[in-house]
A and B are shown apart, each in its own frame.
Chain A
Amino acid sequence: MPFYSEKVMEHFANPRNVGEIKDADGVGEVGNPVCGDMMTFYIKVKNNIVSDVKFKTFGCGAAIAVSSMVSEMAMGKTVEEVMKITNADVAKELGGLPPNKMHCSNLGADALHKAVKDYRQKQGVK
């Protein structure tokens, strides 16, 4: 059995929504170059709905696939729905991750949630 699921490899080889949003409404960054992975998520929010997501990721195959999957899952959802996306949801959507790579899914959901928190702060919402 290959190390990564087909879906992980597909997202890794063809990641969706790579890039930056210059006038983003929220930015979230997690990770650390020393740990070997770091993610930056950018979101645009229109009428409480995430209308655009972009990311940049430094990391392994799983980290890049998770970023891509998270960006797809967030697109078009309300900010409340986005905050409910869990690490487990991301891993499940990817058809599972190897046990020692599960932490990569934490990173993806965390970066996204941080972008939403940043957006809320900028809106003055606590």
Chain B
Amino acid sequence: MKTVYLDNQSNTKLDEKVFEVMKPYFTQYYGNPQSIYSFGAVSKDAIEEARRGAADLINAAPNEIIFTATASEANNLAVKGMAYGLKDKGRHIIISAIEHFSVLNAAKRLEKDGFEISYIGVDKKGNVKEEELKKALRADTILVSIQYANPEIGAIQDIKKLVEIVKKGGKAAFHTDAVCACGVLPVDAAALGVDALTISSPLMYGPKGAAALYLKKGTKIVPQIDGGVQEFSKRAGSENVPAIAGFGQACKTAKQELEQNAKQMAVLRDKLISELPKRIEHIYLNGAPQNENRLPNNVNFSIEFVEGEALFLLLDAKGIMAASGSACANKNLKMSHVLDATGVDTAVGQGSILFTLSKYNTDEEIDYVLEEFPKIVQRLREMSPLYSYFVNTGKRKEAGPGTDYEHEHDHCDIDEDA
């Protein structure tokens, strides 16, 4: 069966060239980079070469790059590490409402430890509300963490402007989770003026098991993994040499291809965004229009009267792999906090479907989606009581407690820890 992979916000295909660079470090040069015999030295060189690659991608100095195992780890290191590093100056932290769980839950952890967190809302398009940020800033604000680009709705923030606001209002450090931007958009950490920035290898055709935190020289941070002297004593643990070497190559490739890839993906994105509403009624684009600040690889629609998990299961049966922000599609059975923050109606948001593109997607694949997806929507609508109610009455079925639901607490409000 034909397979069309359109979930590139959760993982991308490894670039063949990257794979080639990684190979020798599995079975040939397997020495620990901290050892000084020849095998160790080769590994060490590979890591330093990768560090230059990552630094070069975001216009940083190599000694400002700390490798971690995952972007979640890098976000935890940034948020918790900087909070603990700066806690003598205050205990107030600001994050946006659409952050990744690794920022959101790191902040929640800090809250339990006596820090105070302010959440900044976003508008319908996903843009952080600047006025809210200005109002939230205080003398004891030590850290602001706002995502560069959102994986779900593709919103790109004006980080430079937000940094200016923060720096003007005080001395808080600024971290941005840039995993969706790096390798897709040009990112210049120095020009942005951020103190810390997260990059992820598997989102830019690199291997899993590698990510990095850019940390501006002189920024205080408390390590979140204690141990040896690796990564400038800021992140202990023996380095994952093949993954880091691959990550470095992925950064180099990204720098060369970024512009061309973005153009190519934007054409496919625009085709999906303009063609799907012609083929499916009652569908709504989530996030900003394609000609505004939207990632070139992001398409997210809410499809009314159907549910997202059912959509992507039927897409999967046709070989098309996509994602959804619906409650049923999330392991915690809650609609995506990102859709919620942008004010998407909870009932309509249950039909969200997310297509994220890569450089490997083709026009032919998009045509296949355009052919199959409307049929799937039609099939689910034919069995949807919400759709038949709408067709028969011209009205939307009322949502809320009035819908005569006996087990609300067993279902809608499932305990997150359950």
Contact = CB atoms under 8 A, between A and B. Distances in A.
A69 interface: no
Given A36-B327, A61-B313, A100-B331, A107 B385 contact: no
B267 interface: no
Contact of B411 (A12, A56, A58, A103): A103
B224 to A, nearest CB: 29
Contacts of A15: 383
A106 B411 contact: yes
B328 A33 contact: no
A83 interface: no
A100 B313 CA distance: 17
Interface string A31-47: 11111111110000000
B229 to A, nearest CB: 42
Contact of A31 (B313, B401, B403, B414): B403
Interface in B343-402: 346-347, 350, 382-388, 397, 399-401
Contacts of B327: 35-36
Q: Which size class do B's interface residues fall under?
A: 35 or more
Interface string A103-125: 10011001000000000000000
A30 interface: yes
B335 A18 contact: no
A15 B308 CA distance: 17
A59 B383 CA distance: 10
Interface string B174-202: 00000000000000000000000000000
Given A57-B385, A59-B307, A103 B347 contact: no
Given A59-B307, A103-B411, A36 B335 contact: yes
Interface string A91-109: 0000000001101001100
B307 A36 contact: yes
B402 to A, nearest CB: 9
Given A103-B411, A110-B407, A59 B347 contact: no
A125 B385 CA distance: 28
A15 B310 CA distance: 12
B333 interface: yes
Contact of B347 (A9, A34, A57, A61): A34
Interface string A56-77: 1111111110000000000000
A112 to B, nearest CB: 13
A1 B404 CA distance: 36
B306 interface: yes
A86 to B, nearest CB: 14
A104 B231 CA distance: 48
A110 B408 CA distance: 12
A33 B410 contact: no
Given A39-B385, A58-B385, A106-B410, A33 B310 contact: no
A88 B305 CA distance: 28
Interface in B249-267: none
Nearest to B398: A33
Contacts of B329: 60
Contacts of A61: 309-310, 313
Contact of B412 (A9, A34, A60): A34
B406 interface: yes
A39 B403 CA distance: 11
Given A57-B383, A64-B383, A36 B326 contact: yes
Given A56-B388, A60-B328, A60-B329, A107 B350 contact: no
6 contacts: A18-B382, A29-B404, A34-B346, A35-B405, A56-B388, A107-B407
Interface of A: 9, 12-13, 15, 18, 20, 29-40, 55-64, 100-101, 103, 106-107, 110
